[in-house]
Structure 1
Amino acid sequence: MLNALEVVTTVVVGVMVGVEFGVAFVMTPILNALPEDSGQLGHAHGGRMLGAVMPFWYVGSLVLVGVWAVAGRHHDGTGLVVTSGALLILSVVMSLLLLVPINNRNKAWTPENRPADWKQQLNRWGRFHYVRVAVIIAAFTLLVAALA
């Protein structure tokens, strides 16, 4: 049973990392290359769509890691799992304090109501997102190492 939990947790966190990596290094550059209105509308739509899903994915990943840490507390690699959980907590805190406030503004913007500094706000979100991606990649790496 623990083996199944380890695999499911690693896959769930790994897919989340893949999505966030894709947002940072594929979707954002594509949207930024579109003409102003199209790019900004794409960012807003992405903010609404992923903003609705990612909270459950982050919290669900954290819960799975927590269950793994408790269920496997007497096994090798538990320290790696606990550290991974701490990094996922950091990613949630970063999200709530740094990324969500910008995303909540962005998802309501249209070409008619966006603020003059909308590009700067999206760039700030992008910089925070790069850091968050690095944090969740580290968390995922620790989970993979714990399996070995």
Structure 2
Amino acid sequence: MLNALEVFTTVVVGLMVGVELSVAFVMNRIFDALPEDGGQLARSHGGRMLGALMPFWYIGSVLLGAAWAVAGWSRPGAGFVVIAVALLIVSVIMSVLLLVPINNRGKTWTPENRPADWKEQTKRWDSYHYVRVAVIVAAFTFLVIALV
């Protein structure tokens, strides 16, 4: 049963990393290249769509990692799982304190109601997101190390 939990946790976190890497390095670049207001509208839609899903994914990843750490405490690699869980907790804290406030504003923006500094806020979100991606990549790496 522990083996299934280890694999499932690693896959869930790995998929989350893949989505967030895609947002950071593919989707946002595509959105920014859209003509006129297309990029801002796409980001608003993405903020609504992913903003509804990602809290469950992030918290679920922390809970799965914590379950793995507790269940596998006496096994080799448990320390790596604890480090991964700590990094996932950091990513949740970063999300709540830094990214979610910007996302909550951005997901309501339209070309008619967006603030004058919307591009600066978007760039700030992107900067925080790059750091968060690095944190969850590190967490995923520690889970993989613990798995092998």
Q: TM-score, normalised by structure 1?
A: 0.99
1:47 maps to a residue whose letter is G
User: Aligned equivalents of 2:93 and 2:75: distance in 1?
Assistant: 28
User: Aligned equivalents of 1:123 and 1:56: distance in 2?
Assistant: 25
Unaligned runs of 5+ in 1: none
Shift in Å, 1:35: 1.8
| Equivalent residue number for residue 145 of structure 1 | 145
| Equivalent residue number for residue 28 of structure 1 | 28
| Equivalent residue number for residue 59 of structure 1 | 59
| Equivalent residue number for residue 76 of structure 2 | 76
**SS of 1:36 mapped into structure 2:** coil
| Equivalent residue number for residue 123 of structure 1 | 123
2:64 maps to a residue whose letter is L
Shift in Å, 1:15: 0.1
User: Aligned equivalents of 2:93 and 2:48: distance in 1?
Assistant: 20
User: Aligned equivalents of 2:94 and 2:58: distance in 1?
Assistant: 12
Render the CA deviation track for 1:52-80: whole Å, top value 9, x for unaligned.
Answer: 00000000000000000000000000000
| Equivalent residue number for residue 39 of structure 1 | 39
**SS of 1:47 mapped into structure 2:** helix
| Equivalent residue number for residue 87 of structure 1 | 87
| Equivalent residue number for residue 97 of structure 1 | 97
User: Aligned equivalents of 1:7 and 1:86: distance in 2?
Assistant: 19
1:37 maps to a residue whose letter is D
1:51 maps to a residue whose letter is G
RMSD of equivalent CA atoms:
0.4
User: Aligned equivalents of 1:79 and 1:3: distance in 2?
Assistant: 16
User: Aligned equivalents of 1:26 and 1:114: distance in 2?
Assistant: 24
Runs of 4+ more than 4 Å apart: none
Q: Number of residue pairs matched?
A: 148
Unaligned runs of 5+ in 2: none
| Equivalent residue number for residue 108 of structure 1 | 108
Shift in Å, 1:36: 3.4
| Equivalent residue number for residue 10 of structure 2 | 10
Identity between Structure 1 and Structure 2 (%): 71
Render the CA deviation track for 1:22-48: whole Å, top value 9, x for unaligned.
Answer: 000000000011123111000000000
Q: TM-score, normalised by structure 2?
A: 0.99
